[in-house]
A and B are shown apart, each in its own frame.
Chain A
Amino acid sequence: MDEGIKEPVSRSEEDFLLVRAFQQGDRGAFDRLVLKHKDRLFNLCYRYLGDYEEANDSAQDTFIKAYAGLKGFRFESAFSTWLYRIAVNTCKNKIQSSEYRHRHETVSLEQTGNPDHGRPGTDIQNGSPSPALHLEEKERKTIIMGAVDALPPEHREMITLRDIEGLSYEEIVEVTGLNPGTVKSRLSRARLDLASKLRGMV
């Protein structure tokens, strides 16, 4: 029962200084912003799209768009929120593209019982004490991710932003452009939907 994960003030201040430096002509400041945000941004894209290559492509597109727009950034929101908004829109456009849909449908047909197909990130060690427990834990998370992938896009978006990335309600409102009531009700439906899909499986 927390109130949403917010960036520590120091991190926001660091972003502010880097953006300012970039706006004053320090091109290296942008690289530092990329290095600082790439992991979370990539993870967001990956959870959104469910495909490593597509996620890489979208994350890079996001930074390219950010680079183009950073000169005009006026700090009306946190840099990270602004970056997430670009990423979410980029991923949405990607999902709507016919190329992505065609590829995604093909992959879905090819997948035979392994919903975590093509997910190199899930191989990251989680430090479980025994191989049996590790296997069980890994399998459980694989099933959960498969269920998340099977959600309708608007539900997957809510689960990704709130439960996986840990954005606060306010941040989700800023990133998606939805009103707070819609965010609350859509998130509630998404969680119940996911829970019903997983009932009896985990």
Chain B
Amino acid sequence: MDCTRARSLFSEYADGVLDKETAAALEEHLSSCAECRKEARALQSLIQDLRSLPPVAPPTDFLRQLHKRMDRPSGFRRIVEKLFFPIKFKIPLQLAGAALAALLVFSIYTFQQEEYKIPGTPRSVTKEKAGEKRRVATADKALAPAEKPDARPVGLGKEERPIELTLVLGKAAPPRQAAAPATAPSFEGKSVDSVDRERQAPRPATQAAPSSPAEKAEDMGDPVRKAISASQGRILSVQPASILAEVPSDKLPSLLENLRKLGEVHVPPSMPSDETQGPVQVRVLIVAAE
């Protein structure tokens, strides 16, 4: 047995757990190696020293401290208590909760308002302009049933259409109460066919005749624009037989009044209510009377 092997066995030898054969071989080495014998004795002495180290006593109130800790609320309850107690933390947290709830309600309310907003934002105007060409292209042919004035109340619904006002030129404006079908047939009172006839009236062969219905309609563009401007309206687009404009909702009666000075005005069955806020879009269809 060499010294390295002998040293690796000192520990088990000191504890008396080596088997007899290995212990005998180690003892034989120790009897002939003074250095290893010295180290083995030193190790045994060290082990004795370690075993005689004085114990360190716990605090005298160890059990009381333990009871105190064991009586503490559970981890979850401790967190809750830390969050809500003492009372000075309770109120701000409740206020914060209330503020959060209020913010949530406000956000939902704002979102809904946005959903039912009256058209007039730049985005809807752009959208309207994109759809304008398609509508005007068909306007000269006929008023298809789908393009009839929408019966939905203005101000409700996502896809708002402009209020379509039909200005029939060459007819004296009827008295206000004459809007009743009995005295002056409204737009709705007319059949689609009759409107078609009006709009599809053949143009005269010679364009020179200034008094033809189509030319009359084009000529009336300026007075209509003036009427719109007089009602603080803003022209969005001008087509040969129609003008799309945006007017403040409260100026709508004024616009109708101005248009009635130019001819007979047919209004859709539902108009914005008095409570409607903000601008509304109006399309004035100019129809020349025969």
Contact = CB atoms under 8 A, between A and B. Distances in A.
A100 interface: no
A79 interface: no
A162 B58 CA distance: 21
A60 B17 CA distance: 35
B56 interface: yes
Given A164-B50, A188-B11, A59 B58 contact: yes
A78 B256 CA distance: 101
A182 B165 CA distance: 98
Interface string A51-78: 0100110011001100100000000000
A121 B55 contact: yes
Nearest to B39: A195
B54 A122 contact: yes
A145 interface: yes
Interface residues of A, number: 49
A95 interface: no
B49 to A, nearest CB: 6
A6 interface: no
Chain B, interface size: which category? 20 to 34
A84 interface: no
Given A3-B17, A124-B57, A144-B49, A192 B7 contact: yes
B8 interface: yes
A122 B52 CA distance: 12
22 contacts: A2-B15, A31-B63, A34-B63, A38-B63, A39-B57, A40-B55, A43-B55, A52-B56, A55-B56, A56-B59, A119-B56, A121-B55, A122-B56, A140-B49, A166-B51, A188-B10, A192-B10, A194-B46, A195-B42, A195-B43, A195-B46, A198-B46
Given A31-B63, A35-B63, A195-B39, 5 more contacts: A38-B63, A55-B58, A124-B54, A195-B42, A198-B46
The 6 closest A-B pairs by CB, nearest first: A121-B56, A1-B16, A188-B11, A42-B58, A163-B50, A124-B54
Interface of A: 1-4, 31, 34-35, 38-40, 42-43, 46-47, 52, 55-56, 59-60, 63-64, 67, 119-122, 124, 126, 140-141, 144-145, 148, 159, 162-164, 166, 169, 184, 187-188, 191-192, 194-195, 198-199, 202
